[in-house]
Amino acid sequence: MSVTNANAVTNANAVANADAVTAELGPDVARLLDRHLRTASEWFPHQYVPWGRGQDFDGPLGGEAWACSQSELPAAVRGALLVNLLTEDNLPSYHHELLTTYGREEAWRVWIHRWTAEEDRHATVLRAYLHTTRGVDPVALERARIAHLSTGFAVGYADEPLAALAYVLLQERATRLTHRNTGRASADPVCEQMLRRIAVDENLHMLFYRDLATAALSAFPDEMMRGLARAVTEFRMPGHALRGFNGVAVKMAFAGIYDLCLHRDQVVMPILRHLGVFDRTGLGPVGEAARERLARDVEELSQKADAFAERRAALLESSGRRLLVDGVTHSTVLSPE
């Protein structure tokens, strides 16, 4: 399908429909999938788990029950690992949503299945690490997993597939950063090595979606600009619906794992710069309006990030870094807001 024809099947609100997007971008998906398969290296979750640090739990095996004191991980890191794992656990929902949105075309289907297989490794290795090192309460973790998956997850862009594409791009970059920073903050070289390995996967996923977004911006300039503006403005991490998420997010922000400044400087702005959003010419009225909205929202994000950085510096100064970073007990991670 030509670009002209693809644009012709968008609706009056300049939202490219899923049929047009999947058909037009199908060759790019095939090209980027091929690059991904040539670039991605095989790895094995079991090799990243310190099995020697494990022991039987209570229950049928009659081992020792979990206790918070068994883990030396900082509380903010335990919270981050828990959120990261439960987020990865919700893979069936993401798979369903991607397949429903883009699965009409063969290359997209192959990509989505491969992506799902790679993402599934992340929950596998994270859970094994946390069980073996007794990093979190395994009973609370399992109950949270059941509750989280029973709720499911919908990114909410079924009506706008290019906003969904922009969202997964932001999310992969954000997840890459979160895993890396959680590893650094863990003070456990085994944990850091595992999270670095996961982040390599997330990086390749990000590159796939980034370059697909570049192609989308050429094929559907106005519609992709609109999708980007919407995804940036409305962005929330996929774990946001977790019970207790906000409390953990605050601890992660104070521990420097993920905060508004990182979101602006290492997620949103590098993507917008790479896509050349503010230099692009030839947009129609819808694209121009979306870009103006994007510029306003980025400015607002920037002001909030600066204000947060100032507040955090003042609080750390007055309270002491250790109190604020480690001042969350394990139980609050899974308690209601």
Of the candidates 119, 188, 223, 259, which one interacts with Fe ion according to CB under 5 A? Answer: 119
Q: Are 278 and 291 in contact, with CB atoms under 8 Å apart?
A: yes
Cα separation, 40 vs 212, in Å, equals: 17
**Nearest CB to Fe ion, comparing residues 173 and 264:** 173
Q: Tokens at residue 19, please?
A: 């049929």
Minimum CB distance to Fe ion, residue 88 (Å): 5
Of the candidates 36, 122, 226, 263, which one interacts with Fe ion according to CB under 5 A? Answer: 122
**Nearest CB to Fe ion, comparing residues 79 and 221:** 79
Could you say which residues in the range 130-189 bind Fe ion, by CB under 5 A? 172
Of the candidates 202, 222, 223, 259, which one interacts with Fe ion according to CB under 5 A? Answer: 202
DSSP 308-332: HHHHHHHHHHHH-HHHHHH---HHH
Minimum CB distance to Fe ion, residue 39 (Å): 14
Three-state SS across 187-208?
Answer: CCHHHHHHHHHHHHHHHHHHHH
Could you say which residues in the range 238-297 bind Fe ion, by CB under 5 A? none
Minimum CB distance to Fe ion, residue 205 (Å): 4
Minimum CB distance to Fe ion, residue 206 (Å): 7
User: Given the rule CB under 5 A, which of 27-35, 62-70, 92-100, 111-119 is the region that contacts Fe ion?
Assistant: 111-119
DSSP secondary structure letter of residue 56: P
- For residue 64, the cross-strand partners are 57
Minimum CB distance to Fe ion, residue 195 (Å): 11
**Nearest CB to Fe ion, comparing residues 97 and 202:** 202
Burial (CB < 10 A; 0-12, 13-18, 19+), residue 330, is buried
Minimum CB distance to Fe ion, residue 75 (Å): 23
**Nearest CB to Fe ion, comparing residues 19 and 192:** 192
**Nearest CB to Fe ion, comparing residues 77 and 225:** 77
Cα separation, 207 vs 60, in Å, equals: 45
Measure CA 56 to chain center.
32
Q: Are 125 and 196 in contact, with CB atoms under 8 Å apart?
A: no
205 binds Fe ion (CB under 5 A): yes
Question: What residues make contact with Fe ion under the rule CB under 5 A?
Answer: 119, 122, 172, 202, 205
